[in-house]
A = this chain, B = another copy of it.
Amino acid sequence: MVVNVAIVGVGLVGSEFIRQVLTTNSQKIAVVAVANSRHMLTSATPLTASWKDDLNSGSSTKPFSLDAFTASLAASKAAHPTVVLDCTSNEAVAEYYPTWLAAGFHIVTPNKKAFSGDLALYRKIKELTSQPGSPLIYHESTVGAGLPVINALNDLVNTGDKIVKIEGIFSGTLSYIFNNFSTLETSAKPVKFSEVVSVAKELGYTEPDPRDDLNGMDVARKVIILGRIAGLDSTQETVKVENIVPELLRNASPQDFMSKLPEFDAHFEELNKEAVRSGQVLRYVGLVDPVNGKSSVTLARYPASHPFASLKGSDNIIAFTTERFPSPLIIQGSGAGAAVTAFGIYSDILKIVERTQQ
C-alpha cells in the first residue's frame, strides 16, 4: 500500500521532506512529482536522490504550470491515493486547493495562506473536505512547525471541549529576540534591543527585512489559523496586532531601518525595565479568546514562574486553557527550521496513509 506524493515547491522544506522519506526508507510514501516555479518533473516510478538534477536539467523536465502539473498526475491518482504537498508560501497555489480537492487529491501543506486569508476560500476548502470519503487536508506545520499543535486543538474541539484561551509564542524569531532581550537571570549581561535584532538577522533567524517579523503579521496568521479551528471567523481585520516596529521606521529603507533602530533602544529598554521591576519579562504573544470572540498579537508581560518566561533559544510555546484543562495543555519546542517542518509534513502524510489504507 502506497500513497503517492506530488510536491509543489522544493526549497529547503520540500527538499528536506524528500530527504527524510528517502533516508527512512518509507515503504508507504512514493514521491512521484516535484515542481518549482519554472520546471516540473513527474515520473511513473518513485523519484530517487538524483531528483534535483533531473528536475533542473534532466531530459524529462517540463515547464511548470498548475494546470499542467495537475494533468500530469492523472495516472498517479488512478493507481493510488495521491497527496499534493504544497511547500510554497504562495497565494495562487493556495487558491488552487479547491480544484485539487474537487479532483480527489489530498492536500498537505505548511503554507499558511489558505487558512489565514480569504474566509470564502477557507470555507470552500472545509466544505470540500467535510464528508466521510472526502479528500483530506492536513496543515500541522502551519503553526509551530512540527509541534503537534493543530492536532491537539482539533482533538479538543472535536471531542467537545470548551476552548477558554489559546496563548502562545508562535514566532521563533520573536521568541529568540525577547528570550535574549528580556530576562530575569541576574547573571545575564544587559543587551540593547537593536543588537539582539542585529544578531538574530546575522544568524538567519529573521526575514531578510526583520520588520516582516516585528510587524506581527506572521504571528497574526497563526492566530487566525488557530482561531478558526476554535470556531472564530478570524481575519486579518479582526485580529488586533501590536506592530513593534517604531512608527518612524515603518517606511524607511531596509538599510535605514537597521541603522536607525539603535535610536529606539531607550524605548525598548524602558519597557523592559518596567517589566523587570515587577518581576516580569516581555514576550511577544498571540492570543485567541473564543469566549469573547477576540484575538490579538501583543507585547505582554509574564512573571518568572510562567512557562513563557523560561523559554529558551528560538522555541515556540502554545498553551491551551480549556474546560477540561484549567491548568493548560502546553506544547513547546523548536517551531522553525526545515527538519521539524518536514517532520510535521511527514506525520500528516502518514495520517493520510492510515486513513486511506483501512
A binding-site residues for B, Cβ under 8 Å = 1, 20, 23-26, 132-133, 146-148, 151-152, 155-156, 158-161, 185, 305-307, 310, 312-313, 315, 323-334, 339-340, 343, 346-347, 350, 354-358
Q: A24-B159, A132-B357, A160-B20 are in contact. Are A332 and B330 (CB under 8 A)?
A: yes
A356: chain B residues at CB < 8 Å are 358
**Is the pair A310, B313 in contact by a Cβ cutoff of 8 Å?**
no
A26: chain B residues at CB < 8 Å are 160
**Is the pair A340, B355 in contact by a Cβ cutoff of 8 Å?**
no
Q: Which of B132, B159, B334 contacts A325 (CB 8 A)?
A: B334
15 extra A-B contacts, CB within 8 A, seeds A315-B327, A328-B333 = A23-B160, A132-B358, A133-B357, A155-B350, A159-B343, A159-B346, A161-B343, A307-B310, A327-B334, A330-B331, A330-B332, A330-B333, A331-B331, A332-B332, A354-B355
A-B contact pairs, 18 of them (CB 8 A): A23-B160, A24-B159, A24-B160, A25-B160, A26-B160, A148-B151, A151-B151, A159-B343, A159-B346, A307-B307, A307-B332, A310-B310, A313-B327, A325-B334, A326-B334, A329-B332, A354-B355, A355-B355
Closest to A134 in B: B358
Nearest CB of chain B from residue A309's CB, rounded to whole Å: 8
Q: Which of B146, B155, B327 contacts A347 (CB 8 A)?
A: B155
Q: A350-B155, A356-B358 are in contact. Are A327 and B305 (CB under 8 A)?
A: no
A334: chain B residues at CB < 8 Å are 324-327, 329
Give the distance in Å from the alpha carbon of A14 to the alpha carbon of B49 in the complex.
50
A329: chain B residues at CB < 8 Å are 146-147, 331-334
Give the distance in Å from the alpha carbon of A324 to the alpha carbon of B345 in the complex.
13
Give the distance in Å from the alpha carbon of A158 to the alpha carbon of B328 in the complex.
27
Closest 10 CB pairs of A and B: A24-B160, A329-B333, A159-B346, A155-B347, A132-B357, A324-B339, A330-B332, A355-B358, A327-B334, A1-B132
Nearest CB of chain B from residue A148's CB, rounded to whole Å: 5
A328: chain B residues at CB < 8 Å are 333
**Is the pair B350, A325 in contact by a Cβ cutoff of 8 Å?**
no
Give the distance in Å from the alpha carbon of A189 to the alpha carbon of B312 in the complex.
29
Nearest CB of chain B from residue A157's CB, rounded to whole Å: 10
Closest to A338 in B: B324
Nearest CB of chain B from residue A132's CB, rounded to whole Å: 4
**Is the pair B159, A20 in contact by a Cβ cutoff of 8 Å?**
yes
Select the residue from A24, A323, A325 with max chain B CB neighbours within 10 A: A325
Q: A324-B340, A358-B358 are in contact. Are A159 and B331 (CB under 8 A)?
A: no
Give the distance in Å from the alpha carbon of A264 to the alpha carbon of B325 in the complex.
35
Give the distance in Å from the alpha carbon of A1 to the alpha carbon of B23 in the complex.
39
Nearest CB of chain B from residue A303's CB, rounded to whole Å: 10
Give the distance in Å from the alpha carbon of A133 to the alpha carbon of B334 in the complex.
35
Q: A20-B159, A357-B132, A357-B133 are in contact. Are A312 and B327 (CB under 8 A)?
A: yes
A305: chain B residues at CB < 8 Å are 185, 310, 312
**Is the pair B330, A133 in contact by a Cβ cutoff of 8 Å?**
no
Closest to A25 in B: B160
A313: chain B residues at CB < 8 Å are 327
A133: chain B residues at CB < 8 Å are 357-358
Give the distance in Å from the alpha carbon of A268 to the alpha carbon of B16 in the complex.
49
Q: Which of B1, B151, B312, B350 contacts A159 (CB 8 A)?
A: B350
